Structure 1
Amino acid sequence: MLAPVENRSVSPVFVGRADELATLNDALARAAAGEPQALLIGGEAGVGKTRLVEEFATAADRRGAVVALGGCVEIGADGLPFAPFSTALRALRRALPDDLAAAAAGQEEELARLLPELGETSGGRHDEESMARLFELTARLLERVAADRTVVVALEDLHWSDASTRHLLSYLLRTLRTGRLVVLATYRADDIHRRHPLRPLLAELDRLRTVRRLELARLTRDEVGRQIAGILAAEPDPAQVDDIFERSDGNAFFVEELAVAAHEGCCTGLTDTLRDLLLVRVEALPESAQKVARIVAEGGSTVEYRLLAAVARLAEDDLIEALRAAVGANILLATPAGDGYRFRHSLVREAVGDDLLPGERSRLNRRYAEVLEADPTLVPADERVTRLASYWYHAHDPAKALPAVLDASVTARSRHAYSEQLRLLERAMELWDAAPEDVRNRLRPLDYAEAYPACGCDPDTTPLRYLDLMAEAAVAGRLCGERERALKITKRALRLLEDEDDPLRRAWFWVQRSRLVRSLGRGSGREELTTAQDLVRGLPPSEVHAEVLTHVANWSMLHAPGPDAYAAAEHAVEYARMVGVREIELDARQILGVLMVDAGHVEPGLTELYEVKDQALTENIPSVALNAYVNLPSELEAVGRSREALPIMEEGIAYARRHGLSETEAWVWGNLAESLLSLGRWDEADRACAAAGRIGQGVGIRGGHAALRAELALARGDLGEAGRQLAAAHGYFGSQDRAPQHDLPLTRLAVALAAGEGRLPDARAHLARALDRGFPPGAQRYAWPLLLTGAAVEGDARAPAADPGRAELLERIREAAKKIVAFVPVWQAHDLWLRAELLRAEGRGGPGDWAETVTAFEALERPYDLARTRYRLAEALLTEGGDDERDRAAELLRLAHAVAAHLGARPLGDEVAGLAQRARLPLTPGPRRAPAGTDPVEALGLTSRERDVLRLVSAGRTNRQIAEALFISPKTASVHVSNILGKLGVSGRGEAAAVAHRLGLFPAEVPAGALRMPPVG
């Protein structure tokens, strides 16, 4: 049906089909190994079967395969005999003339029935045996041609195939035994009705284990977006993608037509050619069947039989006969449950609907709405409200439609379907002025609005206002990620409120505007919050007042932490309790808990955060619980308790998924990546970081994702990638949001990147600007690493120690550090590290300074930082220590090198290897036998835990088995193994086991099996 349509706009970008293409490539690889392959590819018209075959053929050609394409040709009710095989053999003859001639030698007269170019056919006999002989010769011909090279034979449009082609294909796929051959065939699944002649063949081939069958699904929304971008050679508008995806149902051909229609400004979204093709089968139906099709077109994607019967008002026999005709023509399909009907494709339904007269469409929708109101059991309960709203809306009856649409919006909100809620609210705003005033006056905010408080009005007596709908829509837009739409609604609401004396409503909308501006990267949101705060100043305590104060406290926590922020949070908690708003109170307490931790009241602050999370879960307040899943792990990470944060974040990811809030889930993923980086689980951190970037849409999470990527790339020595990610992070955060949690890490990365690229003046300039701005209270988690990076850059620099500019910068770093608190072990360790780096940069200090730093980090789970400080201690020992310190330095270098290799930290590994080479210290020396009378394990520097791990390594246990035996995590076991390899000076587990055996570390009377694995479960 769709063959005459001209494909003017095939996307140059091949989208989707990754799994299917992988299956085809796997078949090609198996065939290349001498195992013939057979595949059937089904899918509806226009879904992309031919494009998939073309992409696979191109890939196969690049890999040296010979590809022969053939297609069935439709002539009347049947196809041209053997057409696809003839075409494919002809292609093979062009590509491999000598090979095909040799393979056909002696059988040309018979094979000429398929390929006339081989010569004249013999008269021969015409019976079953003659056809079987032809089939056998064809199969053997293909096997011979594919004996020395991979051959792909692709047969398209089997739904038009003739009986002979089907029989030959069946024979071929059942008898292929040898040869590097791939045979694949395509067919339109939507054309294969119950009596189609291809159905028995498909059922037969399904029973063959040698045949794989692929069914192409329609494209996803993301794939449709990429396809449109390829067609238009530009990034499409998300709303346009949503519209085309919904109307095309992901059918690739329809996407192309609709994209062209949209690009050319077609008002209906359907080209005349496409509309005519879609309607041709419908117009061939009997009049009664056409009538039923028109009724179904207005009923929804699926119409229940009882509902259809009530609307159609036909005698039951007449209705069944009409449905039989529509189903037989492949216009309608019965639902799997058999209780309703739907169009085979939604665009056919749309074309039928477009063909209705305006009055006819309204009348049909009114009839649907009336019968559904009379008997709500006609449709499933979970669809009733939404279906009724749609029917009344398309019936063009505002009095009925407005309350129905609002009911549907409430249902959507209750299911966390915020996109649908936004669409319904926008529809309600469209209907508002057209609905009679008495209808509007019967609507109450209590029933339809919960986004913001009543602002001093009695919700039981005050009618719902248009502004209430705008408030609901603004929040729905923010929650579903449609921030631009939400911001437009908010701005319009504020314009409507300019002439009203309603400070509470205005303040509420200014708070929403602040949140949206900040999430879109249009500013920090402070100006909007200041306006809101001015509006509520002097007013009696209210829910809006408490909300404004909470957002002010939150902004201060992020941008200007310190005593003022602390006081603002306390004020917000007080107001929320005063007016009895539990959700706002918990939010404010959470902010206060973060500020308590940052101010040094660590345990009380963390206790507060744990309590808020638990209370929010107990009282079922998801918004607060989700924030707690972000803030609590972040504060645990801030004070060096990364491992404690991990299970909380895993729980938070699951909780966010259950509530459908992907943005919060993305924030938790980002925090998880940060903690995994600290714990030395870099590959896992990379995956968590990718998840955050994949899910999150807001500029904050995207900027944080890019910053984490840059940090990992720097640590692994990929300066180019680090630069790209750093630039992306700056682009997301912009120049307007200077929150310390964003600004200071980006500055640190900029300093490190500039130094890594040899741009020392730029590195110093970045650091100097940060020092000029200063560090606010509570920013120590970002300030310490920045100062440390700056000091390390100066220590590595070749500039003269007496350089006045350098000396001034070092002094500024030292003075800034004096103002930063270090009240937890992780920052105390950083303080020691910074002092050692400053002394190194000034040419002073020695092993004692670095030994103290190493000791501090040995008590923390920060393997990368420990390895870096061990490297510096080894460097100091070799520089200033005597010969007796060389063994200690060698051990430190081995440990640092093992960690660098484990993490993939190439720059650190190169530095360690370089120092070891200069000092002539091998990183993998043979172990020394312990002196008589000493414990050999202690002599090697192994801890008691490492002794246990080495015992299990010697017994041949894996990391996972070691972890289960010792009740530790596999990652911890891996770290212990790395440390053991470094201390023993060996490169692998086998060598470690050999060393343990040679040195007699474990008594022979303790067999390996004595350390039993704990029982499963």
Structure 2
Amino acid sequence: MGSDVDTAPLVGRADTLAALRSALLDDVAPGRTAAVFLTGESGVGKTRLLAEVSDRLRDAGALVLTGSCLDIGDASPLHPLRQALRRFDAELTEARTTSAVRGLLQVFDEETPGPDGAGALLERVSRGLHVVAAGRPLVLVLDDLQWVDRSTRQLLLYLLAGLGDLQLSVLAAIRAEALQGAHPLRRVLTELRRLRSVRVVDLAPLDRAGTDELAAAIVGAPLPPDAADQMWQRSGGNPFVVEELARDLRDGRDGLSDTLREVFLARVDALPQHAHAVVHAVAAGVEPVEHWLLAQVVRLPEEELIEAVRAAVAHRLLVGADDGYRLRHRLVAEVLAHELLPIERASLHRRYAEALTSATAELHQARLAHHWRLAGEPGRALPAAMAAAREAERLYGYAEAHRHWSAALQLAAAPAVDPTDADRPAPVEVDRAELLEHAAETAHHCGEHARALTLLEELAEEPAAPTACALHIRRARYLAAAGRSATAEAEYRRALAATDCTPRERASAAAHLAELLLHLGRYAEAGDQARDALQLAAVVDGTTSEVVLASAALGYSEAFLEDPDGGLAVMRQALEAAERSGRPEDVACAYLHLAELLTGPLNILEEGVVVARRGAERVAELGLGRTWETRLLAIATNGLFRVGQWAEAEKVVAAALRHRPSGADAVELLLARCRLSVGYGDIAASDRDLEAVATMLAGGGARHVLPMLILRAGLAMWQGRHDLARQAVQRGLTESRSDDVIVLATLAWHGLRAEAEAYASRTVEVDPTAVRRLREVVDRVAGKSEKAGAPVRYVADGFLALCDAEISRLEDGRGDPDLWARSATEWDRRNHPYPAAYSRLRQAEALLGRRVRVATAGKLLRQAYQMAQGLGAVPLSSEIRTVAGRARVALEEPPVAARPVPRPRAATPAGPAVDELAALTAREREVLAAVAEGLTNKEIGQRLFISERTIGVHVSHIFDKLQVRTRVQASAIFLRNRPD
């Protein structure tokens, strides 16, 4: 917010203002998000533009919250939002809104976060903003985003994902010159530039005409040609420099150097004495400098201080705002930093530190540490740095915590003070090994794995270092996270061989090594190592986590090595052990791995869905609803999608998203929902979900990139954009480091399908290089799947059949009907109706292209159409109708029992009656009929020639679909709906 004397006109920005208002308000639909990141060099006018846009948005009825990031880089997490809310609270008069704002502020001041950790904090902030907005469009305006803390960056990514119904826009300004090297915002902005809902606007300096106009407005008359040329050459169109030089020219200050340093120094030298001191004090402070803090630093009577501040504002060196004072341009601080003697600078920082220490309000530990350090008082800075680190850890701000722990290490290593100096406190006794441990672990948590390894090496040299075994385990964890798997494996083996390894550490090392081997695809070794880990854990108390971890590796290993029953038995034992321990995360992990095993390698989809949903209910009881429950429900959604129960899958994912998850949990659910939207042909919903996923992956999340690209390719093909589908697949092949043969086979199928579709439609030329590369992937998948266990080979063979059939389309333009018939049979056996229907469509198309077996082709089209209609697959149904229309094949409507349950998002016309059993499959109806007769599961199994366990799965599924709890309730529904 500018001061009252800030009367310089805004020149050359009219189009930018209109575009920003439109992008942030007019073009944002309810429940949607948008963002504009304004970048440019210092002084180009970003802050002024933010203020102008904010005023226009407020006039249009939007709620605008404005905040700024601190320039020391280690502020408290979520500082800009705290600042914006406090400023807004000071302006409020309505009691209800005031209460909402203060309630949200209280979230930041709680002693401990909720049980769901940082994700819960972000969700509570999002919910609080929704209450504060009270139905109005909300615009979050952030200045100096280049100094943003990690927690605020995570909040922005979370809010921009658009999981809620809050109409939110973000406008942020970033110094372009600050984004150098490995600045974390560089990668984020690179990813965000790809999204339609996010714009990155590079604010350029004024052109020659704009520079002349601005200078003329300040001077009061057009500049002579020579003066105008000189202004343009000296300023380069930078509005700030133009204003400063134009005022010098207007006020007759000739002979000034044409450098910014001389401009700023001349302006400071012209200040009254007290104003001069105020500017120097603000330059040494952490902006914004609150009025009470400035008063204690400059030590002037109140009236004289106000007069001095007013003079500095009038000379356009300071900007006054509700939250304190800032230099109009931070370059002033860089100029003034060389004008004070070292003792003068230290004295200013000491005054800041003493004032902050004596404050009765919230103690700003990060700022306190900053000032004590620059005051030359490492002994006093150290406790503040450690307190700031712990505060950041409490809020899961690991990047900020790591910076504070690193600062504490430097302060602890500072030279000792003279013990005879009575004015200095006694040195603080700290355990350097403890500081190194905290610094290394927080570096690992915030993704700085190389830094974590370096700190770990320093820790190993300390006298109080952990044991060699403990160091090996920690080093292996960091190495594995850094992608150095071979070295990590060696470290785990060193830990197991260490003579000082405790039984607990040995069990932990063995369990982690088993997991690492599993990720490396060495399933036999993983199984052997997991067995060793379980034996070691069996004789040590408190190793439930190790048991669950090892059991996951063992279960997957045995499943891949053709012993699915053995893998299931181990996973069920792990679940029983977790339930006995009662530790919520162990129970959740056991359920998760069991559900993944069933829906993954074993391909027992219906039982896997039941386990996932049952596990979701269990972990919700344990208080883990927002994290583990949502992940389990994502597994259930994907399983339901594959078996063709799309309407039920949509209900599950909608229920999970009500938790408003964050991070990887949100990504899993959005990808699951996007699969449904792509299948349904809902292009707008698919785009929204993919953009949300891309936003949340802007800061990482590589394991989700391939599923996202596969969905992007599938959506592009339904849109007829085969070139975009090809790009997505090729990017996936380039970025993929996955050994998952099923994911690779799926990606290859999409790529070959895109080339075949392009060939058939003649929209783009077939890319021979892409086809060759895809065929190599198919061969690689075929070779790898031959060495995998039967369940994995079983699923991979289905996708390989699709790939072979797509290749036949590329070879003759029509496709081999026998290959498509084999693909349809493969997917019928796997109970995957969508690829089965697609294969029948292509088989019929191939027969019609050869003008043979036309009757068979018609039958295939009708079967495919019935299956597609039953799913609700609109694009597939449309393509089937197109082929049938060309061949003059009459398509029959599917029977009532096979029609899909109406999707919740669509309006359903009222009807005379509703078939409450419509969601059940034919087999489930048979089971329910037997349940209604009063038969037990064993008796039903004997009647239907199905195992008792499978009957139990069907019964659980029936209960879920009918939303009942007992057999009596289910029987009542059956009797009420059975045919006469």
Distance 1:253 1:415, change over 3 A: farther
- Residues in 1 aligned to 2:747 and 2:140: alpha-carbon distance in whole angstroms: 48
Give a deviation string over 1:926-952, Cα, whole Å, max 9, x none. xxxxxxxxxxxxx96552686999xx9
Note if 1:790 corresponds to 2:803: yes
Please, which of 542, 549, 565 is the counterpart of residue 580 of structure 1?
542
Note if 1:292 corresponds to 2:266: no
Note if 1:425 corresponds to 2:420: no
In structure 1, the residue matched to 2:495 is: 535
In structure 2, the residue matched to 1:831 is: none
Instruction: Determine if contact 2:690/2:712 at 8 Å carries over to the other structure.
Output: yes
Offset, 1:516: 2.2
Note if 1:493 corresponds to 2:456: yes
Please, which of 416, 430, 437 is the counterpart of residue 443 of structure 1?
430
Instruction: Determine if contact 1:890/1:916 at 8 Å carries over to the other structure.
Output: no
In structure 2, the residue matched to 1:325 is: 311
Note if 1:511 corresponds to 2:514: no
In structure 2, the residue matched to 1:960 is: 907
- Residues in 1 aligned to 2:691 and 2:661: alpha-carbon distance in whole angstroms: 17
Give the aligned residue type for 2:481: R
Offset, 1:721: 1.9
Offset, 1:408: 0.6
Instruction: Determine if contact 1:412/1:418 at 8 Å carries over to the other structure.
Output: yes
Unaligned runs of 5+ in 2: 28-41, 51-138, 147-152, 154-169, 190-199, 208-233, 239-256, 420-425, 549-584, 760-765, 920-980
Unaligned runs of 5+ in 1: 27-43, 53-213, 262-270, 445-462, 479-484, 518-522, 802-836, 924-938, 973-1017
Instruction: Determine if contact 1:304/1:341 at 8 Å carries over to the other structure.
Output: yes
2:183 aligned counterpart, secondary structure: helix
- Residues in 2 aligned to 1:321 and 1:357: alpha-carbon distance in whole angstroms: 26
Distance 1:942 1:611, change over 3 A: closer
Note if 1:475 corresponds to 2:444: yes
Instruction: Determine if contact 1:716/1:904 at 8 Å carries over to the other structure.
Output: no
Instruction: Determine if contact 2:141/2:172 at 8 Å carries over to the other structure.
Output: no
In structure 2, the residue matched to 1:47 is: 45
Instruction: Determine if contact 1:309/1:316 at 8 Å carries over to the other structure.
Output: yes
Note if 1:388 corresponds to 2:374: no
In structure 1, the residue matched to 2:704 is: 701
Note if 1:730 corresponds to 2:730: no
Distance 1:604 1:425, change over 3 A: same
Instruction: Determine if contact 2:671/2:689 at 8 Å carries over to the other structure.
Output: yes
In structure 1, the residue matched to 2:690 is: 689
Instruction: Determine if contact 2:709/2:728 at 8 Å carries over to the other structure.
Output: yes
- Residues in 1 aligned to 2:338 and 2:282: alpha-carbon distance in whole angstroms: 13
Please, which of 345, 354, 359 is the counterpart of residue 370 of structure 1?
354
In structure 2, the residue matched to 1:358 is: 342
Please, which of 779, 782, 792 is the counterpart of residue 771 of structure 1?
782
Offset, 1:772: 1.7
In structure 2, the residue matched to 1:607 is: 611
Please, which of 853, 861, 869 is the counterpart of residue 840 of structure 2?
869
- Residues in 2 aligned to 1:468 and 1:303: alpha-carbon distance in whole angstroms: 34
Give a deviation string over 1:276-332, Cα, whole Å, max 9, x none. 444554433211122122223333212333333333222333323323333444544
Offset, 1:508: 1.0
Instruction: Determine if contact 2:630/2:661 at 8 Å carries over to the other structure.
Output: no
In structure 1, the residue matched to 2:166 is: none
Please, which of 590, 615, 622 is the counterpart of residue 618 of structure 1?
622
Instruction: Determine if contact 1:363/1:395 at 8 Å carries over to the other structure.
Output: yes
In structure 1, the residue matched to 2:521 is: 560
- Residues in 2 aligned to 1:780 and 1:611: alpha-carbon distance in whole angstroms: 28
Note if 1:841 corresponds to 2:819: yes
Tell me how large the CA RMSD over aligned residues is: 5.9
- Written as runs of structure 1 = structure 2, the 5 A alignment for 1:994-1005 is none
- Residues in 1 aligned to 2:281 and 2:741: alpha-carbon distance in whole angstroms: 61
Please, which of 882, 896, 906 is the counterpart of residue 943 of structure 1?
896
- Residues in 2 aligned to 1:958 and 1:243: alpha-carbon distance in whole angstroms: 36
Instruction: Determine if contact 2:489/2:513 at 8 Å carries over to the other structure.
Output: yes
Instruction: Determine if contact 1:791/1:838 at 8 Å carries over to the other structure.
Output: no
Give the aligned residue type for 2:44: G
Offset, 1:46: 3.2
Offset, 1:507: 1.9
Give a deviation string over 1:908-936, Cα, whole Å, max 9, x none. 9667645643x44477xxxxxxxxxxxxx
In structure 2, the residue matched to 1:808 is: none
Instruction: Determine if contact 2:616/2:633 at 8 Å carries over to the other structure.
Output: no
- Written as runs of structure 1 = structure 2, the 5 A alignment for 1:620-769 is 662=663, 665-677=666-678, 681=682, 683-696=684-697, 697-714=700-717, 716-734=719-737, 737-740=738-741, 742-753=743-754, 764-769=775-780
Instruction: Determine if contact 2:385/2:405 at 8 Å carries over to the other structure.
Output: yes
The total of aligned residue pairs comes to 664
- Residues in 2 aligned to 1:646 and 1:540: alpha-carbon distance in whole angstroms: 50
Give the aligned residue type for 1:507: I
In structure 1, the residue matched to 2:391 is: 411
Instruction: Determine if contact 1:629/1:648 at 8 Å carries over to the other structure.
Output: yes
Offset, 1:887: 7.4
Give a deviation string over 1:486-508, Cα, whole Å, max 9, x none. 32432563476489861211221
In structure 1, the residue matched to 2:322 is: 336
1:531 aligned counterpart, secondary structure: helix
Offset, 1:367: 1.8
- Residues in 1 aligned to 2:440 and 2:273: alpha-carbon distance in whole angstroms: 49
Offset, 1:597: 4.7
- Residues in 1 aligned to 2:837 and 2:667: alpha-carbon distance in whole angstroms: 29
- TM-score between both structures, scaled by the size of structure 1: 0.53
Distance 1:543 1:621, change over 3 A: farther
- Which region of structure 1 is more displaced relative to structure 2, 895-904 or 490-499? 895-904
1:580 aligned counterpart, secondary structure: coil
Distance 1:512 1:781, change over 3 A: farther
- Residues in 2 aligned to 1:583 and 1:545: alpha-carbon distance in whole angstroms: 13
Give a deviation string over 1:851-907, Cα, whole Å, max 9, x none. x889889x87x55753543564687799999998797567557668989997556xx
Distance 1:534 1:605, change over 3 A: farther
- Residues in 2 aligned to 1:638 and 1:890: alpha-carbon distance in whole angstroms: 21
- Residues in 1 aligned to 2:726 and 2:365: alpha-carbon distance in whole angstroms: 52
2:287 aligned counterpart, secondary structure: coil
Q: Whose radius of gyration is greater, 1 or 2? A: 1
1:396 aligned counterpart, secondary structure: coil
Instruction: Determine if contact 2:319/2:326 at 8 Å carries over to the other structure.
Output: yes
Give the aligned residue type for 1:943: V
Offset, 1:527: 4.4
- Residues in 1 aligned to 2:906 and 2:372: alpha-carbon distance in whole angstroms: 64
Distance 1:543 1:345, change over 3 A: farther
Instruction: Determine if contact 1:412/1:421 at 8 Å carries over to the other structure.
Output: yes
Offset, 1:468: 0.8
Distance 1:289 1:419, change over 3 A: same
Instruction: Determine if contact 2:440/2:455 at 8 Å carries over to the other structure.
Output: no
Distance 1:323 1:773, change over 3 A: same
Distance 1:407 1:357, change over 3 A: same
1:300 aligned counterpart, secondary structure: coil
Instruction: Determine if contact 1:507/1:548 at 8 Å carries over to the other structure.
Output: yes
- Residues in 2 aligned to 1:946 and 1:671: alpha-carbon distance in whole angstroms: 22
Offset, 1:351: 4.5
Instruction: Determine if contact 2:680/2:874 at 8 Å carries over to the other structure.
Output: no
